Amino acid sequence: MLTLALGVVVLPVAGVVGAQPDDPRRARPQANDRFVFAGGNGKGRVITSADVAPVGPPLTAFPMDPATRVVRDESRLNQVLLVRFHPNDLAGDTRARAAEGIVAYSAICTHTGCDSWDWQPASSTIKCPCHFSEFDLKDGARVLNGPATRRLPALPLKIVDGVPVAAGGFVGRPGFDTGGG
Ligand code: FES
């Protein structure tokens, strides 16, 4: 089985030096935000619809304010997974939040907050390598196998000028509960 590490495990930190509470770099994704690559050779480049290849693996991104071009990367809770499926394979609520089959979710595992993922191409699902929770991104990121008990929060999308754009904020709270629930 082909697996692909999609991110780097970083433990949560209580605060970020130099970042203020109202810092737009720490604000959660907002309607009309674009997305930029979170790492790799394209780090910081705006992600186009064409960048999101059909049926995974997911891209890891940060939202960006389109007016100021401020990237909201001072909070790791703002990391987002973008992945494209065939629209007919999406569950109803997920299809309604998708754009051209592309769906977006918080990249932070709801168990204890890891942000590294293995893509499982046979099932088009993702597995957290920390404690092996699995999520179905075609169906609202529901938990297929624990120990996680909570879905990954979804982020509704639209397409503007060939670019995936946030159509609103997270549906649910990104992050995890103390103790791992
Ligand atoms: S942090 Fe993902 S399963 Fe534990």
Q: Is the pLDDT of residue 62 over 90?
A: yes
Question: pLDDT tens across 89-140, in order?
Answer: 999 999 999 999 999 999 999 999 999 999 999 999 999 999 999 999 999 9
> Does pTM surpass 0.85?
yes
pLDDT at 19: 54
- Could you write out the DSSP letters of every residue in 105-155? EESS-TTT-----EEETTTTEEE-TTT--EEETTTTTEEEESS--SPPPEE
Is the minimum distance from the CB of 102 to ligand 1 under 6 angstroms? no
Looking at ligand 1, which residue's alpha carbon is closest to its atom 1?
Answer: 112
pLDDT at 178: 59
Answer CATH for 34-166 from 2.102.10.10, 3.40.50.1970, 1.20.58.1030, 3.30.465.10: 2.102.10.10
Q: Give the distance from CA 38 to its chain's centroid.
A: 11
Question: pLDDT tens across 113-124, in order?
Answer: 999 999 999 999
Break the chain into its structural domains and give their ranges. 34-166
Looking at ligand 1, which residue's alpha carbon is closest to its atom 3?
Answer: 131
Is the minimum distance from the CB of 148 to ligand 1 under 6 angstroms? yes
